Amino acid sequence: MGTSDVSGPALADFEQALLSIDQAAAARLLLTTYRDSGPVAAFNDLVIPALVRIGSGWEAGEVALAQVYMSGKLCQQLIGDLPTPAIAPRTDQPTMAIAILEDSHVLGKQIVVQMLLSAGYSVTDWGARISVAEVIDRVAREQIEVLFLSVLMLRSALLVSQVRQGLSQLDLHPLIVVGGAPFRFDPDLAQEVGADYVGRSASDVLPILATIEASR
């Protein structure tokens, strides 16, 4: 959930900057919100609503498909350019990794990584298009305790069950946190593929980790 600190004009200006591919204006608005209101407001009350509105504009025939694509690419770049929060790392935290399973979209993953960094967590980013076999191998080698898997397509979401099965065969039992469109559309899917937690939005990652840490 957002903090509701971002005003209507700021959201409208950010949306217009994206549609105009005005990188300087969009960067200024995002950075100001990030510094003044925090990452939750920056992502949940600015970036995500702007992209949703742009997507709705395309569905209504008011926005070109190229604008939708470029807005997403610009947000990816802007989020990647955000400064690393000057927060002391947590001393007692699980070993964590995040990856996009088989898919190539990165925006959601970038937001989750920024949310974790802003709260003092450390997470290893394995990138996109990671195969089931590679996930299993890296979990074993890096002794991952909490694994975040992001997907875009249902086909990729269903592969989470193969990750779980492969890890279980090696007697490895990291907590698996999943996110992405298929899990938002089907509330039972996460349980069906063997995930331990599901994030409906990027800001869910911090409450999920609080629950995980409380049970350790």
* C-beta neighbour count of 71 within 10 angstroms: 26
Nearest to 9 by CA among 43, 45, 37, 35: 45
Instruction: Indicate the CATH number of 96-214 among 3.40.50.300, 3.30.565.60, 3.40.50.280, 3.40.630.10.
Output: 3.40.50.280
C-alpha 168, offset from chain centre? 26
Does the pTM exceed 0.85? no
- What φ, ψ does residue 126 adopt, rounded to 5°? -85, -5
Structure confidence by residue, pLDDT tens digits, 16-57: 999 999 999 999 999 999 889 888 788 878 888 888 888 888
Q: Is the pLDDT assigned to residue 164 strictly greater than 80?
A: yes
Give me the pLDDT at residue 138, please.
98
Give the CATH fold of the 8-80 domain.
1.10.1240
For the ranges 90-94, 99-103, 148-152, 195-199, which has the lowest average pLDDT?
90-94
Burial (CB count within 10 angstroms: exposed 0-12, middle 13-18, buried 19+), residue 92: exposed
Give me the pLDDT at residue 144, please.
98
- Residue found under tokens 């909490």: 146
Domain ranges of the chain: 8-80, 96-214
Give me the pLDDT at residue 215, please.
85
